[in-house]
A and B are shown apart, each in its own frame.
Chain A
Amino acid sequence: MHIDYRDNRFRHGIRRIAAIGILTAMGLVFHFIESLLPLLTPVPGARLGLANIPVGLAIVLLGVRGGGQVLILRIFLGSLLAGTFLTFPFYLSLAGGVLAFSFMAFTYTYGGAYFSLIGVSIMGAVAHNLGQILVAVFFIGGWGVMYYLPFLSLIAIPTGFLVGAVASYTLSHLQEVSP
């Protein structure tokens, strides 16, 4: 069963602006909550990716453009609030986020018939790791960091699964709610 989200309620006008605001705020809160969680794995860079939930929701509800807007707003506002703007964590977050978003948007737009939102989200999680590793390679100047990629992409399966499940759960309930 592929859940077909033809929910156009949030695509235009003031509802769109409100939805972008809400999803960005959600992303910021998730981002903050995640930074409070201790690292559960010995692999550096492994995270839950909770902040990807609103981005996934935005891609479905607002389209690819809306998803991109939510992502960029979250990354810039998040780094300004945390005081990491234009520092290493900011670039990590930007590269991971943009690559994850591109893969998710592409998979959702062109592979919608073959992928559920869980697959889209796992794709995003793996791409997020890839983006972060590439930035780390660029900054550190050695390919040794690549060593972590297989571990990270293995961890990306449960985390991406969780994120995708939460997003599709939210969407299926959102459809029942009358605006």
Chain B
Amino acid sequence: MNLKKYFEVLQIGDKILLAGIILFSLLGIMFPYLYPPGALSSAEVVISVQGQEKARMQMGNIPAEGLEVEVAGPIGIHRVIITEEGVRVIAPEKDPLKICEKTGWIKRPGPMIICVPNELAIWLESDEAAELDGITE
């Protein structure tokens, strides 16, 4: 198919429309980066072990250099690293799959870090509606 033919068909209105959409889209994509949401400081990080809540901290109260928490369990000590940006876990050597470490940083309410062998779960909680992971139809 000869696409060039269709570009020649484009009218002045089409070109203005295209330029407008591209401009709007780029601005819209950049916008969240220009004004990062301050919502995380009001969020709370929750550490739960064996189904019981062990710790709960305001993300706003986390020191700038970050915070490291050690959680002991049957297979070793998990290091929970909390910064203003988010939370991640470093698994002990004995953890066979290290799924919790591979989850990486969680930076918004919604996703969860889970370590099954140590029965450890970590997530961010916020009063504001969590952004959805996805919608299945």
Residues of A at the B interface (CB closer than 8 Å) are 1-3, 44, 84, 88-89, 107, 111, 113-116, 118-119, 122-123, 126, 136, 140-142, 144-145, 147, 149-151, 153-154, 156-157, 161, 164-165, 168-169
The B contact surface, by secondary structure, is helix
Instruction: Please name all residues of chain A whose beta carbon is closer than 8 Å to the beta carbon of B51 when the two chains form the complex.
Output: none
Q: Is the CB of B18 within 8 A of A114?
A: no
Q: Is the CB of B21 within 8 A of A115?
A: no
Residues of B at the A interface (CB closer than 8 Å) are 1, 3, 6, 8-14, 17-18, 21-22, 24-29, 31-32, 128-129, 131-132, 134-135, 137
Q: Is the CB of A115 within 8 A of B13?
A: yes
A89 to B31, CA, bound (A): 29
Instruction: Please name all residues of chain A whose beta carbon is closer than 8 Å to the beta carbon of B22 when the two chains form the complex.
Output: 154, 157
In the complex, what's the smallest C-beta–C-beta distance from A97 to chain B, in angstroms?
Answer: 16
The A contact surface, by secondary structure, is helix
A2 to B131, CA, bound (A): 44
Instruction: Please name all residues of chain A whose beta carbon is closer than 8 Å to the beta carbon of B134 when the two chains form the complex.
Output: 44
Instruction: Please name all residues of chain B whose beta carbon is closer than 8 Å to the beta carbon of A142 when the two chains form the complex.
Output: 128-129, 131
Q: Is the CB of A153 within 8 A of B13?
A: no
Can you show 27 pairs from A to B with CB atoms below 8 A apart? Answer: A2-B11, A3-B9, A88-B137, A114-B13, A114-B14, A115-B11, A115-B14, A116-B11, A116-B14, A118-B10, A119-B11, A119-B14, A122-B14, A122-B17, A141-B129, A144-B129, A144-B131, A145-B132, A150-B26, A150-B27, A150-B28, A150-B31, A151-B29, A154-B22, A156-B21, A165-B3, A169-B1
Beta-carbon nearest neighbor of B8 in chain A: A1
Beta-carbon nearest neighbor of A146 in chain B: B28
Known contacts A88-B137, A118-B6, A150-B27; A157/B13 CB under 8 A: no
A24 to B91, CA, bound (A): 57
A44 to B137, CA, bound (A): 11
Of the listed residues B13, B14, B31, B137, the one surrounded by the most CB atoms of chain A closer than 10 A to its CB is B14
In the complex, what's the smallest C-beta–C-beta distance from A32 to chain B, in angstroms?
Answer: 14
Q: Is the CB of A111 within 8 A of B13?
A: yes
Known contacts A115-B17, A140-B132; A153/B24 CB under 8 A: yes
Known contacts A114-B11, A142-B129, A144-B132; A123/B24 CB under 8 A: no
